[in-house]
Structure formats: C-alpha cells, structure tokens
Amino acid sequence: MRRWLKKGTVEMTESFADISAAIIENLSILADGCRIHPAYRAKRKATGNCAPCMRMYEARLALNALEGEPEKS
C-alpha cells in the first residue's frame, strides 16, 4: 500500500482503495460466521463438510495474504 503526501493530505490510490475493499469484504465474511458452528473462527483449516466454514477459511487466507502474513496449514 502506497500513500503519497501532497500539501499535508493523503491521497488514496486506486490500489489502496481496492485492497481496503477486499479487506472489508473478508472481515465481514469472518464477522458473519457460521450459524451451524458458531465457535469456528477460521483459525484452523475447515473440514470441507460445511460451506460457510469453508468460505470463512478462504476469507481468512485471503485476508492473511493481503496483510502479508505467511500461510498456515
């Protein structure tokens, strides 16, 4: 993420806006959670039997990739 300063203001570039939108989308998926498994927070790999849990796990991986954290298996 790059920011350019211009006379004391911060301009958001298009890539910054895209990354912010992706982060917000992934965080909202994690916040919605799974109705069947309310304790699952995508800290470990989902079993693949529950679609909302898999969606949460994929959102967690995407969020980690956007923030530059290494993948965990």
Mean pLDDT of all residues belonging to the chain: 81
d(CA 39, CA 56): 12
Question: What pLDDT was estimated at residue 8?
Answer: 47
Question: What pLDDT was estimated at residue 12?
Answer: 56
Above 70 in pLDDT, residue 2?
A: no
Cα distances (Å, whole numbers) of residue 27 to 3, 20, 56, 67: 22, 11, 9, 12
